[in-house]
């Protein structure tokens, strides 16, 4: 398990800003006959104390430049190397970006096990585009006791992958696959840590637009 690392490197994800607000449960106008079970679930109040990311080496990897290799991991956003480590680093950055600024009442440990990380090959990215298919299991534990307070929950967080001229233009503005995926995962993780519902898939089940997260400031 790793403790939270709030580093200046996270500033690379700060092309835009997004507000982070707590959710309060309003009860003063609730009808007196409404039972406790009918009240909205309270939003969690977490602070990130540490994290553990597992990218099993049993997941299959391909470097084949076809439209859609039938494997678990496809990643071209870093130089050729250990794709398990590269994918793990993206999730670590996303956890810090999405959870590192939370200051709730309960310190927690975020555990993530990656199930699928299928980004776009060069052939797909510079032609038709596609979908970044992202799936993982997320568990949140009380840092003091180790007890599970949310999850384990399988999360599907697919993201539109740009193709052709749109991909080239996005790349020129710094909106690389790595930037978009990291910020998207950060938003998903933050929702899972702050909303009573947790992350909710959009209609159509694929997110189209990424709102850059506020970078975690170094301490």
What DSSP assignment string belongs to 42-108?
A: PPP-EEEEEEEEE--TTS-B----SSS-SSSEE--SS-SS-HHHHHHHHHHHHHHHHHTT---SEEE
DSSP H or E stretch at residue 192? helix 177-194
141 in a domain, yes or no?
yes
Average pLDDT, the chain: 85
153 in a domain, yes or no?
yes
Work out the pLDDT band at 3, boundaries 50, 70, 90: low
- pLDDT higher than threshold 80 for residue 12: no
203 in a domain, yes or no?
no
Looking at per-residue pLDDT, the higher value among 92 and 35 belongs to 92
Q: Report the alpha-carbon distance of residue 6 to residue 183 in Å, rounded.
A: 16
22 in a domain, yes or no?
no
- pLDDT higher than threshold 50 for residue 26: no
Q: Are 159 and 180 in contact, with CB atoms under 8 Å apart?
A: yes
Q: Are 120 and 161 in contact, with CB atoms under 8 Å apart?
A: yes
So what's the pLDDT on residue 164?
85
34 in a domain, yes or no?
no
Q: What CATH number does residue 173 fall under?
A: 3.40.50
C-alpha Rg value of the chain to the nearest Å: 18
- What phi and psi, each to the nearest 5 degrees, are found at residue 33? -85, -5
Domain boundaries, position 80:
39-60+68-194
Q: Model-level pTM?
A: 0.81
- pLDDT higher than threshold 60 for residue 120: yes
19 in a domain, yes or no?
no
23 in a domain, yes or no?
no
Q: Report the alpha-carbon distance of residue 12 to residue 94 in Å, rounded.
A: 12
Q: Report the alpha-carbon distance of residue 151 to residue 128 in Å, rounded.
A: 36
- pLDDT higher than threshold 80 for residue 6: no
Looking at per-residue pLDDT, the higher value among 198 and 12 belongs to 198
So what's the pLDDT on residue 214?
76
Looking at per-residue pLDDT, the higher value among 165 and 39 belongs to 165
Query: Across-strand partners of 141?
Result: 109, 148
Average pLDDT for 185-195: 97
How many domains is the chain partitioned into structurally?
1
Q: Report the alpha-carbon distance of residue 15 to residue 5 in Å, rounded.
A: 20
2 in a domain, yes or no?
no
- pLDDT higher than threshold 90 for residue 61: yes
So what's the pLDDT on residue 216?
59
């Amino acid at each position: 398990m790793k403790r939270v690392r709030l580093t200046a490197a996270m500033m690379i994800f700060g092309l835009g800003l997004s507000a982070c607000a707590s959710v309060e449960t309003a009860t003063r106008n609730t009808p007196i006959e409404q039972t406790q079970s009918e009240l909205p679930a309270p939003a969690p109040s977490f602070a990130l104390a540490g994290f553990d990311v597992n990218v099993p080496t049993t997941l299959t990897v391909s470097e084949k430049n076809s439209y859609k290799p039938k494997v678990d991991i496809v990643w071209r956003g870093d130089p050729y190397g250990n794709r398990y480590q590269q994918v793990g680093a993206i999730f670590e950055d996303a956890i810090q970006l999405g959870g590192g600024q939370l200051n709730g009442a309960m310190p927690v440990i975020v555990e993530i096990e990656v199930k699928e990380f299928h980004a776009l090959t060069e052939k797909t990215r510079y032609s038709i585009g596609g979908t970044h298919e992202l799936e993982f299991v997320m568990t949140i534990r009380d840092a003091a006791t180790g007890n599970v307070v949310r999850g384990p929950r399988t999360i599907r967080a697919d993201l539109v992958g740009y193709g052709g001229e749109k991909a080239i233009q996005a790349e020129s503005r710094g909106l690389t696959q790595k930037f978009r995926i990291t910020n998207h995962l950060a938003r998903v993780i933050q929702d899972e840590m702050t909303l009573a519902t947790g992350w909710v898939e959009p209609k159509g089940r694929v997110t189209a637009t990424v709102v850059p997260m506020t970078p975690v400031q170094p301490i």
